[in-house]
Structure 1
């Protein structure tokens, strides 16, 4: 049955199907990898250094071409001619970790306008997209400021705004909270939630398992044995899988395990994902039933 027929589940906006990739004169980085980016859900990519997170993101965004397997957009394989790459790069936008590797124009507004201008859009449409992106990232006040005079957090936001101006279905972010102070991290997470509410599916690569547990709906753990995917609250409670990926247990999972070892707690109750949820656990003695249960 075609995924667009009535009653059928639509295909994901982006997917990797049996992808294999290795750099020239090097070993394979990814081999037979399957990954779906599900519509409207936040996805965290986790793994040790060298596990292939950056390679995976570049394959999704069209910066690399797989040796085998395929990249799909809405169920259709990507072709690597000009039209196919344009389709891919307007559907999936990648923002790299260091904003200084992405910003190059004289002012913030000029930088954000670069992508839409390259699409050949009318001036009015470009202006509308720039205004929309600057508003979404809360940086309208620095639109005319030279990018090199921005704070690090503002440069991060400007780089993301440039991607948002392309109106992608999927926004891929490489360590977006790295280098930000706690307030800057909180503001960015609020912004990402707002983007999700307007229809953008967000993928974030991170080393921070606590952030992944708190923020993501789904996680993909890159391990030497392949990719493990699942819902964040379930997969990030698997100590065996996390060890395989070279990661530690999130603090919320560890605290929940400690509480369960001291008093009865319903197994179906989700682990605390934020400090507020942990405080409720402690206040309730750790034994209240799951919300809605």
Structure 2
């Protein structure tokens, strides 16, 4: 799947909040002085406790909320909140909300996925192509004619993501996409996201699941009372003080790696096993201990 927009220089984030702040009406500031840049080709996990402002930050990035202060930049240019500016933003950045029932509204999966491309005024053949690509990317081609009210929860999640993917965004933003899914459903969704990343889509995922973040993301963005901190996922999720401040637990993989290194079983510069499967593979590759 290719993007209709010419990629920018790697030095220029696709979308960026600069010193952004936001408060809901008659309420305290939810975010203040936030700097958050989304670079092309990355997988970014946004983490924080419930109520930390993750959903608000995602909606600011996608234009669903208008920042109270600071700037929102798209390819380095200020986003305007008129029709032209928001159309430009939303053909580049697409948000998938946590509850798919807040996003699905058409009678069938195919009709729902086609809604965005049709609103762009695209020719019918182009709409059909985009719908097919999105359904294939999310592995739900067989559901194209299925009524949305007959879908399972996991199917509704993937159908909602397909609707965003049909817009061919360069950045796909998702709010707690694995919430409510059983382990098999989570794996199917992660496989679909891997296909999207392979096709060139940048993915930002809000989650409170530190194990998922460590396994899946290149970078992390952690919201705490001190503000937003960004960096390599293993580095941030290995910072106990930051995790305590954000009320997040230490990832399983980080704890295992520390134990192995403490016993001299894992070299300081060796990659840490981030899942039980990776730990099994690491153990299988080690020579058997001899008396």
Tell me which interval the TM-score lies in, with the shorter structure as reference length. Answer: over 0.9
RMSD of the alignment, in Å?
Answer: 1.4
In structure 2, the partner of 1:133 is 134
Note the residue ranges of structure 1 that are not aligned, 5 or more in a row.
1-7, 287-293
Per-residue CA deviation, residues 59-83 of structure 1 (Å, 9 max, x unaligned), is 0111001111111111111011110
Per-residue CA deviation, residues 24-81 of structure 1 (Å, 9 max, x unaligned), is 1111111000011111110000000111000000001110011111111111110111
2:80 is paired with a residue whose SS is coil
By how many angstroms is 1:21 displaced? Answer: 0.6
In structure 2, the partner of 1:179 is 180
TM-score by length of 2: 0.93
By how many angstroms is 1:284 displaced? Answer: 5.7
By how many angstroms is 1:236 displaced? Answer: 0.9
Alignment of 1:247-286 (within 5 A): 247-263=248-264, 265-283=266-284
Note the residue ranges of structure 2 that are not aligned, 5 or more in a row.
1-8
Q: Which runs of 4+ in 1 moved over 4 A?
A: 283-286
- Counterpart CA distance in 2 for 1:91 and 1:140 is 24
In structure 1, the partner of 2:162 is 161
In structure 1, the partner of 2:30 is 29
Matched, 1:65 2:66: yes
Equivalent pairs, count: 279
By how many angstroms is 1:189 displaced? Answer: 0.6
- Counterpart CA distance in 2 for 1:174 and 1:87 is 21
Matched, 1:44 2:37: no
Matched, 1:54 2:55: yes
By how many angstroms is 1:206 displaced? Answer: 0.6
In structure 2, the partner of 1:290 is none
Matched, 1:109 2:113: no
Contact 1:233 1:271 in 2 (8 A): no
- Counterpart CA distance in 1 for 2:154 and 2:10 is 39
2:91 is paired with a residue whose SS is helix
1:229 is paired with a residue whose SS is strand
Cα gap change, 1:22 to 1:271, in 2 (>3 Å):
same
TM-score by length of 1: 0.92
